[in-house]
Copies of this chain bind each other. A is one copy, B any other.
Amino acid sequence: MSLRHALLGLLSDHPASGYDLMRRFETSLSNVWPATQSQVYGELGKLAKGGFLEVAAEGPRGRKEYAITEEGLAELHRWLTETQPERMRRSEAMLRVFFLDQLTPLEAFTYLSTEAERAAGRHEALEGLNKSVEWDDEPLSVNGRLALEYGLRFTAMYEEWARWAAAQIEARSGQRLASSETGGAPDREPAPQVLLDSQIVGEQSPDL
């Protein structure tokens, strides 16, 4: 039930329409808590009915600008302080590790090396972002910096782990498996330079 809290969180900053919120989900929250258009509109309706939000203004194309109510702020605060984050379990990447013995050592090695490459690419993108951002003292900037740092640490950890794991497989196989290019991605996405809001966090990935 975190979508509602994500919406309350975004609206605690300032009022916005469903359309505005959708864009903020795309730019800021996509990798932390993605949401689709239908979901956003649906949940906004429920939140308004429940008294957590109210339609503060109506605009041009049937635009409804939602504002958080006292009740909504209270609920957001309660969620942040009185409930524990549900830690997420499902990781397809780790599920695969579990069945790696179904592959030849080379195939397993390739999988892990590719994972390492992907993590490295992600890490690089984050570093680019980190440099390109002018960090101010606004709250979003502060939170964004925390999340970005998490992303950097996560991707670094994951790459190292995957390289270590690949080496384990290689050692056990008794063969040299590392080829010149192990299936790594030669062309890597360039680090995005523009960012609205705190895209930063959008660029961070909890699983990778």
Residue ranges of A at the interface with B (Cβ–Cβ < 8 Å): 2, 5-6, 9, 12, 28-34, 73, 76-77, 80-81, 85-103, 107, 110-111, 115, 139-140, 142-147, 149-150, 153-154, 157, 160-161, 164-165, 168, 172, 198, 201, 204-208
Contacts and interface: CB of A to CB of B under 8 A. Distances in A.
Given A86-B92, A142-B172, A149-B161, A98 B207 contact: no
Contacts of A91: 32-33, 85, 88, 206
Given A80-B99, A143-B98, A90 B149 contact: no
A198 to B, nearest CB: 7
Q: Which 7 A-B pairs have the closest CB atoms?
A: A101-B139, A88-B207, A91-B206, A9-B99, A85-B93, A85-B92, A87-B207
Contacts of A115: 85
A150 B140 contact: no
B107 A206 contact: no
Given A85-B208, A97-B143, A145-B168, 17 more contacts: A9-B99, A12-B99, A28-B98, A30-B89, A33-B91, A33-B92, A80-B100, A80-B102, A87-B208, A89-B207, A94-B150, A97-B146, A97-B147, A101-B140, A101-B142, A142-B168, A142-B172
A207 B144 CA distance: 19
Q: Which of A5, A91, A110 has the largest number of chain B CB atoms within 10 A? A: A91
- The quantity of this chain's copies bound in the complex is 2
Secondary structure call for the A interface: helix
Contacts of A73: 102
B154 A95 contact: no
